[in-house]
Amino acid sequence: MNWKKQLLNLPIIGNLTKRVVSAKASKEAHNISDHFTQFLQPQVAISKTLQEEVFKIRHNVYCEELAFEEVRDDGQETDEFDKQSIFSLIKHKPSGTFTSCVRLVISKGSDELLPIEKYCIDSVTNEELHPKNFKRSEIAEISRLAVKSDFRRRKADKYKGSGTGVISETSYSETELRCFPFIAIGLYMTAATIAMNTGIRHVYVMMEPRLARSMKFIGITFQQLGVPVDYHGLRAPYYINADIFMNNLSPGFKSLYKTIEKDVCLQLQQLK
């Protein structure tokens, strides 16, 4: 264990170190949000063409890279939940390349289960926040987050496709590189904006515990609902709602969120 991890594990020094890291990240986010729109743009997949871009990214990550799913002849990864989903991407504006994607799976009735309900419901041991307690129209799941390998730093990519948003250092400018580690964060913020503007009050996600810890550093605080299980790697069920999201988000990242929210809300008007 290196010295940084040792510091984080000490009860008093660890808490202080985490606050320093969080404050540094928040300060950096203030700077990043100023540049975010210059290089990156959240994009709600409101057309068939954009949805196909989502499926292509997922195929690249989930089929070709991770081999979670079989390679498809059409080069698009789709499943049964796509018909009840709202998709979004993040675009690298200078190149026109879509870097990543995520979906928000919604439910209009008992016949439309969320992925967590169909495959991992036994892992949810928190009865108070169990999906069965809420209206179907008010629950959703953030799912199928994928960041293309071109936008991740290989030497740090020990778990390929994990959506950390850390990217290749050789192809982009220094200013762009400062923005790109926020790709995965931007995806979660885009999904949160979609949820809060479509009547969703309770959001679930299956994610790696280490990713949840990373999100907590910046104030995106997911509440763990059970122990990790083997689901495309070691993942645990998590929950978040609008109050938890907004009340814990650090000031710097609120600035980034407002930038993303404004752009996404303009796009969502086209879905109405």
178 is written with which tokens?
A: 């400062």
Interhelix angle 209-217/11-39, rounded to 10 degrees, is: 80
- Average of per-residue pLDDT values in the chain: 82
Cross-strand bridge partners of residue 91: 41, 98
| pLDDT band with cut points at 50, 70 and 90 for residue 24 | low
Helix (H) or strand (E) holding 105: strand 97-106
Q: For the segment 195-205, what is each residue's pLDDT rounded down to a tens digit?
A: 999 999 999 99
pLDDT over threshold 60, residue 175: no
Q: What is the largest CA-CA distance in the chain?
A: 54
pLDDT over threshold 90, residue 183: no
| Poorest-pLDDT segment among 61-75, 105-119, 133-147, 167-181 | 167-181
Whole-number Å distance between alpha carbons of 175 and 196:
31
Whether 123 and 237 have beta carbons less than 8 Å apart is answered as: yes
249: helix, strand or coil: coil
Predicted pLDDT at 162: 38
Mean pLDDT in residue range 40-54: 95
Mean pLDDT in residue range 127-140: 97
Domains of the chain: 3-36+102-271 (3.40.630)
What is the reported pTM? Answer: 0.81
Predicted pLDDT at 4: 45
pLDDT over threshold 60, residue 21: no
pLDDT over threshold 70, residue 1: no
